[in-house]
Amino acid sequence: MNIQEIKQRFGIIGTNEVLDRAIFKAMQVAPTDISVLVTGESGVGKEAIPKIIHHLSHRKHSPLIAVNCGAIPEGTIDSELFGHEKGSFTGATGARKGYFEEADNGTIFMDEVGELPLGTQVRLLRVLENGEIIRVGSSKSQKINVRIVGATNSDMLRGIEKNEFREDLYYRLNTVEINLPPLRDRKGDIHLLFRKFAQDFAQKYRVPGVRLSQEAVRVLEDYRWPGNIRQLRNLVEQLCVIENDKEIDAEVLRNYIPEIDRSNLPARMENPVSQGEFKTEREILYKVLFDMRSDISNLKNAVQSILKGGRLNETQESPEGTIIHHNSSRDAESLAPSIEKDNKIIASEETLDVESAEDPNGNLSLQDLEVEMIKRAIDKHRGRRKEAAEELGISERTLYRKIKQYNLG
């Protein structure tokens, strides 16, 4: 069979190259017994891959059993997967085979495998490594011959980092990974899928099939489709049932697409920035201004060194206690003319004296802000100056000097 024949046999619509690559990989691994992990967002059609693998393998005459791991309660999942003995728990009135025994010599498709509890993961690892299962309530292992195909829409590596999924199990499942692209990356396939679904629902409900105007097609292709193919199928079904006018224009289509006007720019933050101890906007502003003052002081020291005709050291400590690193020790005299030309304001130390700078409207000066930040840090840490210095981002020695300078002791 070639890829096109596979698509026709299993009802796969689309000409996307990534989709074709996924089908090709499924065809290549089908004759083997290695485990496969199918990845992709929810609704992309991951269930088609285990069907292809099973029906092209030597197991095609044995069962293909699909299990949704996320839909089975944690308290019963071991019994559902591996079976149980009579009396092993309340209500176990007889022995029962699990899904793995039922799928012996066949294929088991474990959808949402990332949702498995850690205890069940240990049992599954035993199946992958030794081909053995142990029923709940039994101490006797039994051999089975099952091909495992897993699927997940979650980030497995993130689950490993959070100790929610076993790393050894991940690599045993992920011998071959087959990734299915989201619908938004298959824009050329969206209208093809729409027409196929429209035809199917027209036959099912015995109504004329819906059609899209050119502008509606563009709306369809520009949408992000967070629910992927499943969401598109539901939309077509609604249109077929609700709309009397089967010629759908863009305005009508927008009424069926949620949040159609939302920007496509990414908005999710995987690791949100935590402000730590700075709970209010005012404290955050103080911190920013405090850091700004330190940067200005560093610049002042560097400019003074240049104007005095000196050479910049590779590493020096400013009077504020901040270490300044320089990547160049070029002659400062060659730099001074350009600095004077570009800035027109560097003449004396007083020019960059920010400690006495004050807003003409009578607001707090940078020095006042610095004093406020130091007081807050000391009060917060109950006089523990080492911890206060760490929060302020300065050395303990510098903090002692500031306390003495501002009479804060």
Over the stretch 192-234, which tens digit does the pLDDT of each residue have?
Answer: 999 999 999 999 999 999 999 999 999 999 999 999 999 999 9
Q: Rounded mean pLDDT of 311-326?
A: 44
Q: How far apart (Å, rounded) are the C-alpha atoms in residues 201 and 217?
A: 19
- Predicted local confidence at residue 308, as pLDDT: 66
Residues whose CB is less than 8 angstroms from the CB of residue 206 and which lie 6 or more positions away in sequence, other chains included = none
Q: How far apart (Å, rounded) are the C-alpha atoms in residues 78 and 56?
A: 30
Q: How far apart (Å, rounded) are the C-alpha atoms in residues 142 and 133?
A: 6
Q: How far apart (Å, rounded) are the C-alpha atoms in residues 230 and 227?
A: 6
Which single residue is written with the structure tokens 């007083």? Answer: 350
Structure tokens at 224: 């992000």
Q: How far apart (Å, rounded) are the C-alpha atoms in residues 221 and 184?
A: 8
Q: How far apart (Å, rounded) are the C-alpha atoms in residues 107 and 104?
A: 8
Q: Give the CA radius of gyration of the chain.
A: 33
pLDDT reading at 37 higher than 50: yes
- Predicted local confidence at residue 235, as pLDDT: 95
Q: Give the max Cα distance, the chain.
A: 94
pLDDT reading at 360 higher than 80: no
Which single residue is written with the structure tokens 């999710």? Answer: 268
Q: Which helix (H) or strand (E) holds 376?
A: helix 366-380
- Predicted local confidence at residue 373, as pLDDT: 83
State the Cα angle at 52 between 49 and 54, rounded to 5°.
Answer: 105
Q: Which amino acid is at 196?
A: K
Q: 337: pLDDT confidence band, cut at 50, 70 and 90?
A: very low
Q: Which amino acid is at 213?
A: S
pLDDT reading at 27 higher than 60: yes
pLDDT reading at 344 higher than 60: no
**% of residues, the chain, pLDDT over 90:** 59
SS3 state at 36:
strand
Q: How many CB atoms lie within 10 A of CB 382?
A: 8
Give the residue with greater pLDDT, 142 vs 345.
142
C-alpha neighbours within 13 Å on the C-beta side of residue 72:
23
Structure tokens at 353: 């004296």
- Predicted local confidence at residue 324, as pLDDT: 41
Q: How far apart (Å, rounded) are the C-alpha atoms in residues 386 and 388?
A: 5
Structure tokens at 311: 């050479």
Which segment of 164-168, 169-173, 283-287 scores lowest on mean pLDDT? 283-287
Strands 315-317 and 132-134: unpaired
- Predicted local confidence at residue 104, as pLDDT: 95
Which single residue is written with the structure tokens 């955050």? Answer: 284
For the chain, the average pLDDT equals 81
pLDDT digits (tens, 9 = 90+) for 229-263: 999 999 999 999 999 999 999 999 999 988 765 54
Same fold, 3-179 and 184-254: no
Query: For residues 123 and 133, is the Cβ–Cβ distance under 8 A?
Result: yes
- Predicted local confidence at residue 260, as pLDDT: 60
pLDDT reading at 168 higher than 70: yes
CATH code of the domain occupying 184-254 = 1.10.8.60
* Domain 3-179 grouped into CATH 3.40.50.300: yes
How do the domains of the chain map onto residue ranges? 3-179, 184-254, 281-405
DSSP 388-404: HHHHHTS-HHHHHHHHH
SS3 state at 176:
strand
Q: 408: pLDDT confidence band, cut at 50, 70 and 90?
A: confident
Residues paired with 141 in a beta bridge: 134
Q: 390: pLDDT confidence band, cut at 50, 70 and 90?
A: confident
pLDDT digits (tens, 9 = 90+) for 117-155: 999 999 999 999 999 999 999 989 999 999 999 999 999
Q: How many CB atoms lie within 10 A of CB 81?
A: 23
